Amino acid sequence: MTKRIPSKISRGSAELAILSLLADQPFYGFEIAKQIGERTGGALQFTLASLYPLLYEMEKRGWVEGRWQANHAGRDRRYYRLTPSGRKQLAPLRKEWRSFFQALDALAGVSHA
Amino acid sequence: MPDWRKIVLQRLGESYGSCRQDIVEELAAHLEEIYEAGRERGFDEAEALRRTLQEAGDWRVLAAEIARAKPEEDSMNQQRTRKLWLPALASITFTAVLLVIFDKMHASPLTVGLGHLAMMLQLAWFAAMPLLGQTQPEEARMNQRTRTIWLPGFVTLTAASLFLFAEEFVLTRDPSSYMTDLSLRPQHVVSGLPLWLYGAWLLAQVPCGAVGAFLSRRGGGSIVARIVAGAFPALMMLLLFVVVIPISVVVERNAYVLSHPSVVVLAILIWAGGPGVALLIGAAPFLKESTPQPA
């Protein structure tokens, strides 16, 4: 999953990261990994091995939907977009993680900001 | 540039190639971009390749995780082949043989005409099967290929066929002549239809091709998908002439065609080549890039 954050936390955070990213616009796999890596300063890094099983799992749950489209270079890529069901998942997930960080902050003085 | 598709296939196992082609394509595309990014960062080919392959970690684990995350696709494809494609092929072959028998028995023109019509309907059904196959709730969402190729192609084929039927009906008022001119009797290959009718039909293909390509583009189809959807009727004709009619010719021992194989080429040019060009002319405005959003 990620290399800089221990696995159990990152496992849960990965879904949130992907859903949040796709809420703005569709991306294909390589772009998803690249965008998340860049936007988190490298704290969250997806490899091919960690990304695709998760994407397929999320697709199976109906949270995201993949469609083949040509990218700007004219190459066919599978773009993932958020489904209405995925969008519904996003708000409670965000709330859960906010609560988690608040609890951690209260306990250990760790701020998520 | 390494052949990423081949690399992914070798490492995931050859079985992926036949039933999980989209996964292979997707992983190969991902590796390709990592490799190119590595090369742009200044790594030599060997180092870029090594770093790229590291992305997948243990391929056996990856294959197992993908199988766990996306298990239904295999069985879906296999089921579709077993329940739809094979019976459809058998059905079309049966109709072809039946047509030959009709011909041998000198059946009435109406019977032969209806036989040809049945053949066209079966080909259309064959094309529409991906839609018919999606009957389970899990499969209810149309997949990308259905949305961008099969559905637009079916619409185009239906429209193109209706034009021909309508023209023939207006011309002859005789349903028995429907599609009989497709048969490889020498006189039909060239002069089976009056030239003006053929020309009008060709013109009618232009909007048909446009509709197919437009629907495919609207569904997010790639350039290739739009071309296939737009030229679908011509491709079906090609299928008819390359697969079905040669069987008929051999079975009925059509001496003329066997000794003049150029008749088949001519028929392909008239019934698939000409319409193909007209369909692609109609599809052309919809082949420009439109939708994707680069990062």
The whole-model pTM stands at: 0.47
Higher pLDDT, B36 or B174: B36
What per-residue confidence (pLDDT) applies to A69? Answer: 85
Averaged confidence pLDDT in chain B: 72
Phi and psi at residue B11, in whole multiples of 5°? -85, -35
- B101 pLDDT exceeds 80? no
What per-residue confidence (pLDDT) applies to B291? Answer: 46
What per-residue confidence (pLDDT) applies to B139? Answer: 40
Higher pLDDT, B206 or A109: B206
**CA B75 – CA B58 distance, rounded (Å):** 25
Q: Where are the domains of chain B?
A: 4-69, 77-286
Residues of B in contact with A28 (CB under 8 A): 29
**CA A8 – CA A5 distance, rounded (Å):** 9
Buried b (16+ CB within 10 A) or exposed e, B25-42: bbbbbbbbbbbeebbeee
Q: What are the structure tokens assigned to A21, written together?
A: 């990213």
Cα angle B119-B124-B127, degrees, rounded to a multiple of 5: 130
Say how many residues make up chain B: 295
Average pLDDT in the B109-126 region?
64
Fold (CATH) for A7-108: Arc Repressor Mutant, subunit A (1.10.10)
- B43 pLDDT exceeds 70? yes
Helix (H) or strand (E) holding A66: strand A64-70
Q: Identify any residues that bridge with A68 across adjacent strands, giving them in sequence order.
A: A78
- A49 pLDDT exceeds 60? yes
**CA B212 – CA B202 distance, rounded (Å):** 16
Alpha-carbon radius of gyration of chain B = 23
The answer to whether B12 and B62 are in contact (CB under 8 A) is yes
Higher pLDDT, B289 or A46: A46
| Strands A64-70, A27-28: pairing kind | unpaired
What per-residue confidence (pLDDT) applies to A54? Answer: 92
What's the pLDDT tens digit per position in B137-178? Answer: 334 345 666 777 777 877 787 777 777 767 666 665 554 444
Higher pLDDT, B65 or B144: B65
3-class SS at B106? coil
- B295 pLDDT exceeds 90? no
DSSP letter (8 states) at residue B261: T
Q: Where are the domains of chain A?
A: 7-108
- B235 pLDDT exceeds 50? yes
ipTM of the modeled complex = 0.84
Interface of A with B (CB under 8 A): 25-31, 34-35, 47-49, 51-54, 56-57, 59-60, 65-72, 74-79
DSSP letter (8 states) at residue B175: G
- Which of B33, B57, B72 faces A49 most closely, judged by CB atoms? B57
**Inter-chain residue contact B70 with A25, CB threshold 8 Å:** no
The answer to whether A53 and B65 are in contact (CB under 8 A) is yes
- B189 pLDDT exceeds 80? no
> Which of B52-56, B191-195, B276-280 bottoms out in mean pLDDT, i.e. has the lowest?
B191-195
**CA A87 – CA B117 distance, rounded (Å):** 48
**CA A51 – CA A30 distance, rounded (Å):** 9
Q: Is B220 near chain A, with CB under 8 Å? A: yes
The answer to whether A65 and A59 are in contact (CB under 8 A) is yes
- Greatest mean pLDDT range, A6-10, B141-145, B246-250: B246-250
What per-residue confidence (pLDDT) applies to B256? Answer: 75
- B15 pLDDT exceeds 80? no
